[in-house]
Structure 1
Amino acid sequence: MGYVSIWPVLVLAFIHFFGTRLRFLAGVPRSVWLSVAGGVSVAYVFLHLFPELGEGQEQVSKLNWAERFLNHHVYLMSLIGLAVFYGLERVVVETKYRQKKKGQEEPRHEQGIFWLHIGSFAIYNALIGYILFQREEGTLQNLLLFSIAMALHFIVNDFGLQEHHHDSYRRIGRWVLVVALVAGWGIGFVVELPEALVILVMAFVGGGVIMNVLKEELPEERESRYWAFALGAGLYAALLLSL
C-alpha cells in the first residue's frame, strides 16, 4: 500500500515546486483558469466528499468521547476547518493593513505572520497527504477524483500564498509545504488512524478547501470572473454525477 498514491503526491509536490512560475495565471483581472480550478475543488467537496462524510457518520458516532457533540454533526469539523482558515486569513490581512497605514511595506514581524500562515498550511498539506495514502484502500476512481481536485486546489493556494508572502514563499514556504505533504503521506505507513478519525480529518480538510477557494475569489480587487468559477464547478459536478 502506498505505491499508487505516491504518484498523486509527486504531482502535488510538483505543483508547489513550479506553480509559482505559471506567469500567465497572475495579474488582474483574476485568471479564468484559477477561477475554474476553484470551482472544480468546491464541486468535489460538495458532491463527493460531503456525501462520503455522511456515509461515515456511523463510524464517528462510535467514538465515545465525541458521541455527544458529533453523533449527528460530523460536519462540525468542516465548520471548524472553515473557521480556522478564515481566522488565519483575517490575521494576515489585518496585519498587513495596519502596517500599510503606518507606511511600512515590510513589517518587522512579517516573519511571525509568515510562519503562522505557512505552519497552518503545512498541517493542512500533511492531512491531505495522509488522506491520499488512505485513499488507496478505496477505488482508483476515488483516488483520482480526489487527486485532481486537490491538484487544482493547490494551484489556487500557491497563488494566494505567493501574493501574501512574495519571495518568502518562493524561497522557503513552498518547500515547507512539500515536506509537509510528503511527511503526511509517509505517516500513513506507520500510523493507521481509526476510520472515524480519518472521516473527521476529511471533514476538516473539506471546510478548509471551501474557505481557501472562496477567499481567493470574493475580494472585489481580484475582479474574479464568476462565469469561470461556475463553469469549473458545473463541469466537474456533471462528471461526478455521471460516475
Structure 2
Amino acid sequence: MEFWLSAVFVIGLMVIHLLAKNMKFLSVEPRSRFLSVAGGISVAYVFLHLLPELGEFQEHLRGTIENEFWQFFEDHIYLVAMLGLALFYGLEQMVKKSKRQNDEADKRKATAEVFWIHISSFALYNGLIGYLLIREEFADGWGKTFFFIAMGVHFITNDRGLRATHKEDYDKFGRWLLTAAVFIGWLIGVFTEVSELLISFLVAFLAGSVILNVMKEELPDERASSFSAFFMGLTAYSFLLFLF
C-alpha cells in the first residue's frame, strides 16, 4: 500500500513541475497570496515534523555508531540542516552576482554555467525529496500525504522563482530536469535502502534547504509577499499536523 501511495504522490510532484507554468493565477500582480500560503505550509512542516524527527533520530542512533567522525554528527545533526541552508544561500548569491553582471551587458538572466549549476543543485534537491517519499519512515498514510502536500506547494514556489530567475532556459531545460529528478530519486529509493544515519542526514539537509528556499521568496521587498497569507498557511497547516 505504501509503495503505491508513494507512486501516486511522485507522479503528482512531477505533474506539478510540468503544469506550474500554466497556473495563471500565480501570475497576478501584486504577487499571488497563494505563494505566501505555500511558504507558510512548507515552514510549518519543517518546524513541526522534520526538525522534531531529527531529535528522534539522534536519540535512536545515540551509542550505536563506533566511528568518531560520524559520532560527532550523531550528536550534532542540526549542523547538517545548517549546511543545507548555507549551501542554497551560497547558490542564490552566485546567481544574483551573475545576473548583476549580465544586466550590465543588457542581459536579463544568469550565465549558462551558473544556470546549470543552479538547476543541477535543485535537481539533487528534488531527487532527495523523491527518495524520502518512499524511504522516509512515515507513521501512516497521513504522514506521507502531509509530506506530499508540503513539498508539492513548495515545488510550486520553487518553480515560480526559478522561472523568474532563468526565463526561457528554465522552461526549455530546467523544469524537465527537475521533473525527471523527482522520479529518479524515487526510483533509487525503490531499489536502494540506506542506513538510518544517512536518512537522518538527508532529512536534516532537506529541512535547512526548505527554510532557505522559502525565506528567499518571502523576505525581499520586491517579492511583495503577504505576511497574513504566510501566517494563515503556517497556522492552518500546523493545526492539521497536530490534529493528525
Q: Flag as ranges the 4+ runs of structure 1 deviating above 6 A.
A: none
Partner of 1:104: 106
Partner of 1:187: 188
Partner of 2:39: 38
- Out of 83, 87, 92, the position equivalent to 2:86 is 83
Given that 1:122 and 1:177 are in contact with CA atoms closer than 8 Å, whether structure 2 keeps it comes out as yes
Deviation by residue 1:19-44 (Cα, 9 ceiling, x = unmatched):
01112212442210000001000000
Partner of 2:133: 132
Partner of 1:242: 243
Q: How many angstroms does 1:110 deviate by? A: 1.6
Q: How many angstroms does 1:53 deviate by? A: 1.1
Aligned equivalents of 2:236 and 2:55: distance in 1?
23
Report 1:128-167 matches (<5 A).
Answer: 128-135=129-136, 138-167=139-168
Aligned equivalents of 2:56 and 2:40: distance in 1?
24
How many residues align? The count is 241
For 1:11, the aligned partner's letter is G
Structure 1: runs of 5 or more not aligned: none
Q: How many angstroms does 1:72 deviate by? A: 2.3
Deviation by residue 1:82-120 (Cα, 9 ceiling, x = unmatched):
0111110110011101221x232156x721111001000
Q: How many angstroms does 1:59 deviate by? A: 4.4
Report 1:8-47 matches (<5 A).
Answer: 8-47=9-48
Partner of 1:49: 50
Partner of 2:76: 73
Given that 1:28 and 1:223 are in contact with CA atoms closer than 8 Å, whether structure 2 keeps it comes out as no
Aligned equivalents of 2:243 and 2:84: distance in 1?
29
Query: How does the TM-score come out when normalised to structure 1?
Result: 0.94
Q: How many angstroms does 1:67 deviate by? A: 3.9
Partner of 1:229: 230
Q: How many angstroms does 1:52 deviate by? A: 1.0
Given that 2:102 and 2:111 are in contact with CA atoms closer than 8 Å, whether structure 1 keeps it comes out as no
Q: How many angstroms does 1:68 deviate by? A: 4.5
Relative to 1, partners in 2 of residues 1:97 and 1:27: Cα closer, same or farther, differing over 3 Å?
farther
Q: How many angstroms does 1:199 deviate by? A: 1.1
Partner of 1:212: 213
SS at match of 1:71: helix
Query: How does the TM-score come out when normalised to structure 2?
Result: 0.93
Structure 2: runs of 5 or more not aligned: none
